[in-house]
Structures are given as C-alpha cells and as structure tokens.
Amino acid sequence: MTPPGKPSALIDTRVVYCGDNLEQLTKLPDECVDLIYIDPPFNSNRNYEVFWGEKKELRSFDDRHESTQAYIDFMRPRCVELARVLKKTGSFYYHCDWHASHYVKVMLDQILGEEKFINEIIWKRQSAHNDAKQGSKHLGRVHDSIFLYSGGGDYYFKHLYTPYNAEYIEKFYKNVEPETGRRYQLGDLGAPGGAAPSKGNPHYEFLGVTRYWRYSKENMQKLYEEGLIVQAKPGAVPRFKRYLDEGKGVPLGSVWDDIGPVQGQATERLGYPTQKPLKLLERIIEISSQPNDIVLDAFCGCGTALVAAQNLGRQWIGIDISPTSCVVMAKRLRDICKLREGEHQRLRGKGFMVRELPTTEKQLRELPPFEFENWAVLALGGIKNKAQVGDMGIDGRIFPVGSGPETSGKDAGELDFMDEWYPVQVKQKEKAGRPDIDNFEAAMMRAKRKRGYFVSFGFTGDAIDEIRRFKREENIHIIPVTVEEILDGSVIDKLI
Ligand SMILES: C[S@@+](CC[C@H](N)C(=O)[O-])C[C@H]1O[C@@H](n2cnc3c(N)ncnc32)[C@H](O)[C@@H]1O
C-alpha cells in the first residue's frame, strides 16, 4: 500500500460528510478535485420510492417515464455542483444502468459539454441475471454504464493493460521455446510501409534476404547473436521473437468484463446492498488520477471509492446522506486502511474524520420525532414513507437487493421486485413495549409482510417475548434494532 501523504493544504481531505450532497457540495470551492466518481441510487437499487412517492399501483410506461424524469430532476442540480468543483484537468465518472443511462448522458452533455465526453464504459457486472428467465421477453440486463467526461482541460489519463486470455495466447503466441518453455510470436523485421518504406530505412542483405529493414545492419546482427532473430529455413525472411512474458497485455478497452460483482463470499463484502468491487474503483482511480490527487465520491455508500483512493495513495472526500453508510465506511477505513479516526490524526496524514454525523444517543433523543423517524429509516438504508399520517403503522420500507420478482410468467415485469420490501417502524422511546409491537404486527399482517424492522432506543422484556412468539406461531420475523446498534454499525449484521 502506498504510504498516505499529508492531507491537502487547500481543502480538507480524508473527510466523510454525512448529509445531502447538494448541501455539502456548496462547502467546496470551485475547481478543487481531480477525480469525481458517483454511483447514485436509482430504481435498480430498490430506492424507487424516493422518486415515486407513495404510488404502489401497477406502473405503466408513463409512470416509468415520470420516474426517470424525477431521477434526472434530482440529479441535475447535484451534477451542476459536481461540475463546479471539478478541476479543468480532472475527470468525472458517472455510474448508472439501463434505467436512465441515456437520459443521464444527455443531462451530462448539457451540464459538462458534449465535447468533454470521453467514453462510455460497459461494466459487465454479472454473466446471468434472473430478470431474464422463462416467460420474460428481454435479454438479461447484465451490464452497467459508466460515463467518463473530462473537466475540459489537459486531463490526466493512464492506459492500462489486461492479461492476454488463453484463446489469444493459443492463436498469437503458438511457438514455445524448447529450452525455456517461453511462448513467443514472430514479428516482422521489415521497414514500416512495406514495399514503399518511409525515407531513411536501411536497405541491405541479411541472412540471404535483401530488402528494406527496420533496424541497422549492426543492430540486426546483435539481435541475431542474442538469439532473438530466427529464420525458418535458408532463404526465408528472418523474423523477430516477441516473448509473451515481455508483452504489456491487451490495451484496456471500453468493455470491462474481467471484474465480477462483490459476491456473497468475498472478503471485501460488507453486506451493503449496492457495494461496488474495489477492483473496479481502483481501476478508475488508476486511469484518471495520480498519487496525492483528490478523489471525490458524493454518493459514497460503504466507501469503496475512498478505500480504493486510500490504497492508491490519493487524497479523498466522501459524502453520503445515510448515517449507517457513514458508520460502516468509517469502520472499513479503520479496519482495512488502518486509518485512525480523529482530527489530530487526520492532520498528521494518518487518520480521517466523519463530519456532521448524529453521533450520540443524546442528540438523537432531542431530534423532533419526524426527524428521528427519518434518520432511523435512512440509517437502515430504507425509504421513508411520505405520508406522515395514515401510514398504517409503517414508517418506511427497505427494499432487499438480490431478491427476484415474486411473480413470474407473463404477468411478471421488471418492476415486480418492488413487491418485495420489509416494513420499518420507528419509536423514539426509551423502551418500545408490547402494545407497540402488537400494532406493528397488525400492520405487517395487513401488508402481508414476512420480515420487518422495529427501531427504538430499547425494548421491554414483554416486547421481546412477543416478537419471539410472533415468529414461532405466525412465522413472521420482527427484527428489533436499537439506536445504539445503528450508531456503532453492528446493525449491518441484521440487515443481511
Ligand atoms: C448506490 S449507493 C453507492 C454505493 C457505493 N458506490 C459503494 O460501492 O459502496 C448510493 C448511495 O448514495 C447515498 N445517497 C442517496 N442520496 C444521497 C444524497 N442526496 N446525498 C448524499 N448521498 C446520497 C445513499 O445513502 C447510498 O449510500
């Protein structure tokens, strides 16, 4: 790991801001970051309700369009702010998928300028998807789109190479040197331009063949003596041995199919539903930034971009609205990057800070009830019910990732996953009691839910007994979550 340098003197780096990025970004000066990566939530992340409000009816095409428009309206002012903070020499990566990618491209062309567009990267995130199964009438949606724009100036760009695959090696490096086992291909030694070479290429006889050559006679002789020039038979055109193990690999193109998703068993997996693989972020950061450059992720989730930036010796700034994300990410920065949390350590280049996180139970007890509900639902990665009255005992919903549609066959559409959600109930009480649980049970039965979350500062013994009975007798699982578990991040184990 590259040793971390000191934080930037111009702006505070190695900082995670907990809050809405629209507000947080206004705190950053113009043209201050070198690389922006964002991976905002969209419908595909089960965050539909953010943009849909409370509509639960079957969604028609018009509804879908409305949703896309709402998403773009949400993203536009944020992208304007991001464009403002991006340096002219910087790069901007926007990660999205088929739901809105075409609209995102148009929006970014308008904000950043069409001429700043560099690439659309196709990240093949999986080989098969359960959305393409018998009965569906579309191909599996297995890729994401990542749009790359520059800040408009002379942006940094590093070409990367990927290893040759077996098929390529068999086809192009079929010769094997018997003494060493090294694979090689035979390359042309003729002067570029063939029969009409560019001026200055030497013309002479070598191993019985007279023609324009790429190298001087002395150099050819040297290569021959080093065993790097072979002639298949007398009179045949001599060729140059190019070893496989000396090749750089295949220049990386815009289709990335060599990085898998974060699998269930992966060591980097934190259980955070939309976590992106570290390798993907490290690749992006390597292509578009240099050590000590400043990387900004304004929707940083569990902090993959920040960890990648730290691993590669870059400076970084993260923003996320969810306190749970911020807590999970802080733990990751401590455990994986071995950074310590605290302002003093941050200033010494050995630590980081999470700012504006509601950090104490006392602060949370003092929040107005509606704010507290909001905090708790968001903290669980859920979506708050818009209706403040008549919510039928449900304050929010969590949409699990990895769940398939409940219905299949001709009635199944791509939005069916929306039928799978877990209700969240929040009580800003020292101890939620049996009557609170009874009410939530009734709400869960009405909504036909099998799993739900109840958040409070604590639970009475009666409440816990009732939760157990309900599971045993009705097979409906209520998961009690305390504020303490949210604040220390241990709630993540209950969300998986
Ligand atoms: C798709 S996730 C990002 C995942 C991330 N790339 C990773 O690998 O962990 C999107 C994140 O955006 C955050 N978010 C949503 N709206 C936001 C807003 N207005 N401001 C800041 N963060 C927001 C969510 O809390 C969520 O953590």
Going from the Cα of 397 to the center of ligand 1, the distance in angstroms, rounded, reads 17
Q: Does the Cβ of 325 fall within 6 Å of ligand 1?
A: yes
Q: Does the Cβ of 20 fall within 6 Å of ligand 1?
A: yes
The highest-confidence range among 106-110, 327-331, 406-410, by mean pLDDT, is 106-110
φ/ψ of 22, rounded to 5, equals -60, -40
Q: Are 396 and 424 in contact (CB under 8 A)?
A: yes
Q: 133: pLDDT confidence band, cut at 50, 70 and 90?
A: low
* pLDDT score of 111: 98
What is the amino acid identity at position 242? R
Mean pLDDT for the stretch of residues 363-370? 83
For 386-403, the pLDDT digits (tens) are 655 455 679 988 876 544
Q: Does the Cβ of 299 fall within 6 Å of ligand 1?
A: yes
* pLDDT score of 269: 80
Q: 285: pLDDT confidence band, cut at 50, 70 and 90?
A: very high
- The Cβ of residue 414 has, within 10 Å, a number of other Cβ atoms equal to 17
Mode of pairing for the β-strands spanning 422-426 and 396-398: antiparallel
For 259-282, the pLDDT digits (tens) are 998 887 788 887 666 789 999 999
Q: Does the Cβ of 136 fall within 6 Å of ligand 1?
A: no
* Sign of the alpha-carbon dihedral angle for 127, 131, 68, 75: negative
Q: Does the Cβ of 382 fall within 6 Å of ligand 1?
A: no
Per-residue pLDDT at 130 exceeds 70: no
Cα–Cα distance, 226 to 328 (Å, whole number): 57
* pLDDT score of 49: 38
Q: Does the Cβ of 324 fall within 6 Å of ligand 1?
A: no
State the closest ligand 1 atom to the C-alpha of 45, by its place in the atom list counted from 1: 1
State the closest ligand 1 atom to the C-alpha of 301, by its place in the atom list counted from 1: 27
* Sign of the alpha-carbon dihedral angle for 453, 454, 456, 460: negative
pTM of the entire predicted model: 0.75
* pLDDT score of 407: 43
Going from the Cα of 394 to the center of ligand 1, the distance in angstroms, rounded, reads 23
Comparing 213 with 58, which gets the higher pLDDT? 213
What structural domains does the chain harbor?
A: 15-157+252-355 (3.40.50.150), 162-246 (no CATH), 361-495 (3.40.91.30)
Q: Does the Cβ of 288 fall within 6 Å of ligand 1?
A: no
Q: Does the Cβ of 276 fall within 6 Å of ligand 1?
A: yes
Minimum CA distance residue for ligand 1 atom 16 = 321
Q: Does the Cβ of 104 fall within 6 Å of ligand 1?
A: no
Q: Does the Cβ of 47 fall within 6 Å of ligand 1?
A: no
Per-residue pLDDT at 52 exceeds 50: no
**Average pLDDT of the residues of the chain:** 86
Q: Are 305 and 281 in contact (CB under 8 A)?
A: yes
* pLDDT score of 367: 76
Mean pLDDT for the stretch of residues 278-301? 97
Mean pLDDT for the stretch of residues 50-61? 40
Going from the Cα of 45 to the center of ligand 1, the distance in angstroms, rounded, reads 10
How far is C-alpha 214 from the geometric centre of its chain's CA atoms? 46
Going from the Cα of 301 to the center of ligand 1, the distance in angstroms, rounded, reads 5
Going from the Cα of 77 to the center of ligand 1, the distance in angstroms, rounded, reads 16
* pLDDT score of 64: 57
For 442-470, the pLDDT digits (tens) are 999 998 999 999 999 999 999 999 999 99
* pLDDT score of 307: 97
Give the Cα-Cα-Cα angle 9, 11, 17 (nearest 5 degrees): 140
What is the amino acid identity at position 430? E
Per-residue pLDDT at 135 exceeds 80: no
Q: Does the Cβ of 452 fall within 6 Å of ligand 1?
A: no
Going from the Cα of 41 to the center of ligand 1, the distance in angstroms, rounded, reads 6
